Amino acid sequence: MTDLDWQLRGACRAHPDLDADAWFPHESDLAAAKTATDVCRKDCAVVHACAAWALDHGERSGIWGGLTAKDRRKILRERAKDVDRETNAVALYRKLRPGMRSDYQAHVAVADAFRVHHRTVLKWVTAAASHEGAPAT
């Protein structure tokens, strides 16, 4: 079984009422897009794999995993904000840590600034350090 075998199990492959064009409606055709996304969301066993693949591979058109191109652009924008948020939080942690008595104190300060739990900051800092090959603090 290959990584793309999920495509063979998609509801879009052999839907009795929809042809291949139904999965690529014009962006202004909201009714056609809703018909296709409803099939994905209600009848498809691989909807999550399909959506993940489309997001990871930058599919720019069509209905994938119950998501329109517009839906996918919105999700990708939100992902980019999250990455920026993590990067900014780690940078603030690194700036604050030398003046703090403990790692925990720095985690809490950054958590307050970003309105997240201090363990979230610890996770971000640990992930950043592992990507850089440095020890996490």
Residues 38-77: pLDDT tens digits? Answer: 999 888 899 999 999 998 888 999 999 999 999 999 988 8
Q: How far apart are CA 110 and CA 118, in angstroms?
A: 8
The CATH number of residue 109's host domain is 1.10.10
* Helices 118-132 + 103-114 axis angle, to 10: 110
Q: Do 12 and 60 belong together in one domain? A: yes
**How many Cα atoms are found within 13 Å in the side-chain-facing hemisphere of 115?**
0
Give the residues across from 67 on adjacent strands. 64
Domain that holds residue 88: 78-132
- 28 belongs to a structural domain: yes
Is the Cβ–Cβ distance between 9 and 41 less than 8 Å?
A: no
Whether this model's pTM surpasses 0.85: no
**How many Cα atoms are found within 13 Å in the side-chain-facing hemisphere of 109?**
17
